[in-house]
Amino acid sequence: MADAIVSIVLERLAEAIQTQIQNEVDLVRGVKKELIYLSSELNTIRNVLDDAEKRGYKEKTVHHWLNKLENASYDIDDVVDAWNFSNLKLQIEGSDNFVVPKRKVCSCIPCSCLCFNKVTTRYDIAKKIKGQKGRLDMIVKEKDRYNFIVGWPTDDRRESDRVRSTSSIDESKIHGRQADKDILVSKLMREDDGGEGFAPRVVSIVGVGGIGKTTLAQLVYNNDRVIDCFKLRIWVCVSDVFDEVKIAKGIVEIVNKSSPILDELESLLKCVRDTISVEKFLLVLDDVWNEDFTK
């Protein structure tokens, strides 16, 4: 969640900086420098967000730090909005093509007062931008306490230190998910129209961490209607690293009650096809982080 918010704010900052450069607009001296600074600091934080969001599930202090970062990002976005609006007004008011609409009632406010108000507003916005700089400085300093890993190497084969999920659940402790469960069960019960060769139906449960995606999947997996419909049910916890070989082995092991002595992905996929193609099956891949749809 934090990564998505930070990414959006970085785009907004880049647009604001580009506008300053292209139009040579500097309503208040030093603002462009402050915007560049905010962008640089957010980029520094963004490099560790992958690790931070993974650890935020278990560590309350990291979770609290992420909340502060999200709140700061929202506020930076608001102040950048205000700054962009001020820039836009300045450009419109300075354009020869801009026509001021006629008024039926003459204004009794002196022009000098209006100009003063505009300047004051711009300085207020600039002050808020500088305030966000100080706030972000504190968040960056706090970041160093947690020794976050910068990025995740593509060849990283480490197992996640999070608890691996299973299909087991104590339904007596779960409340308020009945409607969501019924919707998903109905989706799984729906008959396909494709006949032979149709692609398996994929139902995705997506959302930010901690909202109960795994719990919902467990409720559906253990539902009586689902059990009656799918004689073959398979639960595989994927975790951080999307290892196709390990996932394929897990599927075959659950169905055949033994792990295949194979390491080549092609051989394993053939084994998976031979194992599950004879029956209607339900496969749950839980805790998936990889966004590559082809996998």
Residue of 257, 247, 259 lying closest to 286 (CA atoms) = 247
- Per-residue pLDDT 10s for the chain (295 aa) are 677 888 888 888 887 777 666 555 555 556 778 888 888 888 888 888 888 888 887 788 888 899 889 998 898 888 888 877 776 776 666 554 444 444 444 444 444 444 444 455 566 777 788 888 888 888 988 888 888 887 644 444 444 456 778 889 888 888 888 899 999 999 988 865 545 555 678 888 987 777 889 999 999 999 999 999 998 999 999 887 788 888 999 998 888 888 888 888 888 889 888 888 878 899 999 988 877 778 7
* Residue 89: its H or E element: helix 60-93
Which residues have a Cβ under 8 Å from the Cβ of 49 and sit 6 or more positions away?
2, 3, 6
Domain residue ranges in the chain: 2-97+110-146, 171-191+199-288
Cα separation, 284 vs 251, in Å, equals: 10
Q: Is this model's pTM higher than 0.85 or not?
A: no
Q: Say if CB 285 and CB 247 are below 8 A apart.
A: yes
Q: Say if CB 41 and CB 35 are below 8 A apart.
A: no
Q: Say if CB 282 and CB 221 are below 8 A apart.
A: yes
Cα separation, 74 vs 21, in Å, equals: 24
* Residue 234: its H or E element: strand 232-239
Structure tokens at 181: 């469960």
The one-letter amino acid at 257: K
